[in-house]
Amino acid sequence: MKKRYLIDTCIWRDFYENRFSKSGKPFGEYASKMFLKILKNKGEILFSEALIWELGKYFGDNEIGSMLDLFYFNGVLIKIEIKKHEAKEAKILSKKRNIPFVDCLLVIQAQNYNAILVTQDKHILNQLKDIVKAIKPQEVN
């Protein structure tokens, strides 16, 4: 069975902007290597409209299209719908744990689609690890 990944918006930004952490870690390089591993291993990258919403805060439609097209044309990128029950569950989780709604939605969808969540966000890695397996890009194998 192919490995499935749901990738947090911060990782897409790291990749596209070749970003570094505040302490100088090469987040962009980690993201690039992760995407190459997923392509090489013929994994699947799931995404929902939530990724487009979040990327839309930083980029125009053309840039978002360019970012995603490489993976879409390689047959790796798969769009999933946001189901009403997922949004409802994410809203409850967001209030309960005081974590942004979109991050909670990502966690719920990763759980529902049996996907590995890839992020650098400490609140996901630490506060939501009881719900879904979350790893950093440099941990993808």
- 77 - beta bridge partners? 45
123 pLDDT exceeds 90?
Answer: no
The answer for 132, left when phi > 0, alpha when psi is -120 to 50, beta otherwise, is beta
Task: Give the pLDDT score at 86.
Answer: 97
Q: Is 30 helix (H, G, I), strand (E, B) or coil?
A: helix
Domain contains 94: no
Domain contains 93: no
Domain contains 96: no
Q: pTM of the prediction?
A: 0.93
What torsion do the CA atoms of 122, 61, 138, 108 make, to the nearest 10 degrees?
50
- Per the structure, the complete domain to which residue 22 belongs is given by 4-81+115-139
Q: In total, how many domains does the chain have?
A: 1
The answer for 43, left when phi > 0, alpha when psi is -120 to 50, beta otherwise, is beta
Domain contains 67: yes
Domain contains 87: no
Domain contains 86: no
Q: Confidence band (pLDDT; 50, 70, 90) for 120?
A: very high
Instruction: Determine contact, residues 134/128, Cβ cutoff 8 Å.
Output: yes
Close Cβ partners of 63 (under 8 Å, ≥ 6 residues apart)? 16
Domain contains 106: no
What confidence tens digit (pLDDT) does each residue in 20-65 have?
999 999 999 999 999 999 999 999 999 999 999 999 999 999 999 9
**Residue 16's CATH number:** 3.40.50
Domain contains 12: yes
